[in-house]
Each structure stands twice: as C-alpha cells, then as structure tokens.
Amino acid sequence: MTTHTIAIGAAPSGDTVRHVPSWRRDWLTGTLLAWPMPLALLAIWYLAARYEWVPPQVLPAPDTVLTTLLDLHRSGELWANLQISALRVAGGFAVGLAGGLALGAAMGLSPRFRDYVYPTFKAFSQVPVLGWLSTSRPWISTVLTIRNVERTRHGSVPCPISAARPAQCQRGR
C-alpha cells in the first residue's frame, strides 16, 4: 500500500506530518471531481426555469419537480406507477428476448436461413425507432405502443447477432 505525506501547518521541523493512504486520497479526489458537472447542470436548469428560457410546461423548475416527486411518494402513486412501468419494460424485453432467441437460433443452426435473413435484420437493427416511426405510424397507434415496440426491439436485437457470429466463425467466413 502506498502512502503519501501531507504536511499540515507550516512547521519546518516536520513534527505535524500525517500519512494518508493512497486509496483514501484517490477516493476523496474522485468524489470531489464528480460534483462540479452535476451541480453546474442543476444551476443551469434552475436559471433556465427561473428566467423562463424554456417554457415551464417543457422545463419545470427543480423545486416543482422535487415537490411533485414528494407528493407522489406520499400518496403512493409513485410506487404504483413504477411497478406498472417496470412490468411493461420487463414484458417488452421478454417478448423481444423470446423472438430474438428464436431468430438467433434459426440463424445459428441454418446457414441458408442466416444468408437470407441476416442482411435485412442487420439493416433493421441499425436504424433507430424514430427513423422508421413515420413509416410504421399507420400500424402503431399510440405512443405507449411505440415505447413497447422499442423495448421489444432492444431485447430482440442482441440475441440473433450473438447467435449468428459463432455460426459465421464455424463456416470459415
């Protein structure tokens, strides 16, 4: 363990020298360096809300957000809404995972299926949801459904890609 010497006071004889372990110095330095950016963002948020650089409907003041958060916590609505959101995220991810595993297994087991499907799948997975949202708008009616589609897509994209790569290596490409 490395220790650093820090002189406390201006005693020339060195009687008031204290040894500080490097882990404590690194933790303290890291902790102090972590605070300026969040505090600056909070200050900019406060100023933007105070002087209405952005309308209050778009950017409410920090104290309004904190008050609303505390009210929702006290009423119990916060936990109920968090449970609903967590279930939606888990459900969307589970649907995407099941579809992704099936597609990935099919691409991993069948080189011909992979040759037909993988290029289209790869192109699809590179485009963010907002990119193809305008074309899928007639079929997807609500914002909630759009969010669920995005969650499902995040669960389904990694599985086929990771399943297809070992097959690609085995085939010698």
Question: Is a pLDDT exceeding 60 seen at residue 114?
Answer: yes
* Higher pLDDT pick, 150 / 124: 124
- Residue 71 inside a domain? The answer is no
- Residue 68 inside a domain? The answer is no
Q: Do residues 86 and 10 share a domain?
A: no
Question: Is a pLDDT exceeding 70 seen at residue 78?
Answer: yes
Length of the chain: 173
Question: Is a pLDDT exceeding 70 seen at residue 159?
Answer: no
For residue 153, name the pLDDT band (cuts at 50, 70, 90): low
Radius of gyration of the chain (CA): 27
Q: Is the pTM of this model over 0.85?
A: no
Query: pLDDT averaged over the chain?
Result: 77
DSSP label at residue 140: -
Residues 72/78, Cβ–Cβ less than 8 Å: yes
Residues 149/140, Cβ–Cβ less than 8 Å: yes
Question: Is a pLDDT exceeding 50 seen at residue 147?
Answer: yes
- Residue 15 inside a domain? The answer is yes
- Residue 66 inside a domain? The answer is no
Q: What is the pLDDT of residue 100?
A: 86
Give the structural domain span for 42: 3-59
Task: Count structural domains, the chain.
Answer: 2
Question: Is a pLDDT exceeding 60 seen at residue 83?
Answer: yes
Q: Do residues 30 and 86 share a domain?
A: no
